[in-house]
Structures are given as structure tokens and as C-alpha cells.
Amino acid sequence: MPTTEETHARLAEIPNLTVSRNTPLSRHTRFGIGGPAAIFAETGSAEAFIAAMTAARASGIPTMVIGGGTNLIVSDHGFGGIVLRYRAESLHACGDDGLDNQGLDNQGLDNQGLDNHGLDNHGLNNQVIADAGAVLQDLVDFTVARGLKGLETLAGIPGSVGAAIYGNAGAYGHSISERVVNVRFYDGAAVRVFNNEECRFRYRESVFKQHKEWIVFSTQLLLEPAPAEVLRKISGEILTVRNQKFPVTMKCAGSIFKNLILNELPAAAAAEVPASAVREGKVPAAWFLEQVGAKGMQRGDIHVAGYHANLIYNAGAGSAAELCALIQELKARVRDRFGLELEEEVQYVG
């Protein structure tokens, strides 16, 4: 089995791949928490990423892939393996001239059997292709500016496009899955394209969440024409509200826990929920957390916001141990009081 040094040297030989040793993962998470990765490698090239993944797996060293790090809680001890990050971030509006100039560069995919990169050609004027590493807010701004309706309610949701696909991000009754035509991804052996149905989207879920070894490269989205000024007003108002709750400088992951579907709750818990708390068939996790006194709780520098029971943030030098302990205490309080298990939106590393 190759040593860490040998694997680092092999990765360093891959063109368009940036490789470093003992890189603090706190630099790559919104919580600003996390110890070092033994090897950290990132690229905006699909070809380089595939080569890096192949080399990493051949080494036998534990390997994981991250995106923007918005929803990650990394151990204070870090990750004693290889962390790969795919950061391609191009956004392209399709047009009548086809897809040849969409900046996809074939990236080693010529033999994958994907005509036009596996992208459907209906309604090109209303379609956008987004790389997984693009910031979700940049995609929202891109579509709004072009008078394309469908993503404006996602304004202010932190993270990347790839993460949004992975967790079927959404807000205000809409999710990104409503606009997905297909998703291009790497399954560890080949680049594939799934249509919307094959992605098996549901509330905050997708097939990619069930197959964490699959890596999203890009998505094709179908939107609707609408006045840009109307879309800009909608997204602007939502962004203002969201920034008041989750300031961009705040070290947090947005909401920690998923909201709950009312008709899936235990009968006793559902009976306690007032109608005023139900939104489109869902009960905010914050409602249950409020009932157990979550607001204002803290462990060291890890705090629950005094104005939002489902917002946990790092007030300074908080640790992953403190963060995890607070999350577990909140889950235990809700479990004891309501007999239900809150499910985190965040992912744990190490």
C-alpha cells in the first residue's frame, strides 16, 4: 500500500490539481471548525478530479469529497486521510446556438457516450447549466438577471450548487428539484447523467445522498421567462430576511435540523402542534426546539441564537466537540419531550 508521502507525490503530478499537506479544514467550513486533513487536493477540472479520485482510492487511504463546506462539522482532530474538493463554478445560459460554447471542454468525457454531454435540448433559451462548485446565490442572481423564473426563492441559502442538488435545497415551498432536467456526475467508474426522476428527489433528499461516493459535476435546469425586475424584488426581499437571521459573517450552517412532515409525526406529538405552526404540511424543527428551551443555550463559544431555536453558531473559538455536544443535548430534549428524533441537515467528518 502506498504511503501518505507517496500518494501526495502521485497526486502532485496530476495537472490542474492543487495539493497540500496538513491543511486545516476549518478554512473550508462555514463553522470555522475542524482539524487538518492529511492531504487536501482541489481542482476545477473534471478530468483532474477523476484522476485524483482514482489515485486516492488506489492508495487505500481513507478518502472523502467536500464542496463549499457549508453543512460540514469536522472533528477537532481533523481527517487522517485525503480530502478532495471539486470547485468548478461556471454558469451558462443555453441558447439557440447550442451547447458547443458552454465551456464544458469535454474534460475527458468524449468516450462516455454522452451526446451533447448528456444534456437535453428542449427549451434551450430557458435553460441554464451550472457547475457543482458554483455558489448557489450566484446561480440565483444569474437566473434572475436573465429573467428566468424558478430559483428566486432559494436566495440566501448558503452553499454550492452541488450541495443544493445533493440535499435538494429549498425554501418558501419550492426546491431546486422542481427545475432540474438532469444531473451529470461521476460514480467512481464513469461519468453518468441522471434525469430528474432518476435523481429520486424528495424533501431534502436525493439519490446522491444515498450514494455519497457519487460526485455531482453539474446540473441542467429548466426555468420560465419572467420580468427580471419582479424576480429581483422577490429574491431581494427573501435575501434581506435571510441575512437578518443568518448574517453572511456568522459562522453557522443555517438551520441545523430538518423540518418535519406533519403526517409523519407520532400522533401524540402531532396533536400538540398548533395549526399556526404548520407550513405547507411541515412543522419547523425550531417549533419543537423552542418548546424545550433551546433559544440562548450554549456550550463554550457554540451558541443557539436567542431569536431562532434552529440556528447554532460559532461565536468565536468554538470546537467541534462543543458543537456536537450541544446538538446531542437538543436532540435528547426533543426526544424526551415529544418522542421524536430530530435529523440533522449537517454532515459529520472525522
Please, are residues 101 and 61 in contact by the beta-carbon 8 Å criterion?
A: no
Give the ranges where the chain is alpha helix by DSSP (H): 4-12, 46-59, 136-145, 161-166, 207-210, 228-245, 267-272, 285-291, 320-338
Please, are residues 38 and 31 in contact by the beta-carbon 8 Å criterion?
A: no
Q: Which H/E stretch holds residue 15?
A: none
Please, are residues 72 and 347 in contact by the beta-carbon 8 Å criterion?
A: yes
Angle at 291 between CA 289 and CA 294, to 5 degrees: 45
Give the burial string for 314-349 (b: 16+ CB within 10 Å, else e). beeebbbebbbebbeebbebbeeebebebebbbbeb
Active site residue 255: yes
CA–CA separation, 22 vs 79, rounded Å? 9
Q: Given 10, 146, 200, 204, which residue is catalytic? A: 204
CA–CA separation, 31 vs 35, rounded Å? 12
Active site residue 204: yes
Task: Pull the grid cell for residue 217.
Answer: 459535476
Q: List all residues 6 or more positions away from 339 whose beta carbon is below 8 Å from its beta carbon.
A: 266, 268, 269
CA–CA separation, 287 vs 318, rounded Å? 25
Collapsing DSSP to helix, strand or coil, 36 comes out as strand
Q: Given 89, 152, 322, 345, which residue is catalytic? A: 345
Q: Given 26, 177, 255, 319, which residue is catalytic? A: 255
Phi/psi for 208 (5° steps) reads -70, -25
Sole residue written with cell 412543522 = 283
DSSP 8-state assignment for residue 257: B
Active site residue 206: no
**Alpha-carbon dihedral of residues 51, 54, 58, 64, nearest 10 degrees?**
110
Q: List all residues 6 or more positions away from 115 whose beta carbon is below 8 Å from its beta carbon.
A: none
Report, as residue numbers or ranges, the catalytic residues.
204, 255, 345
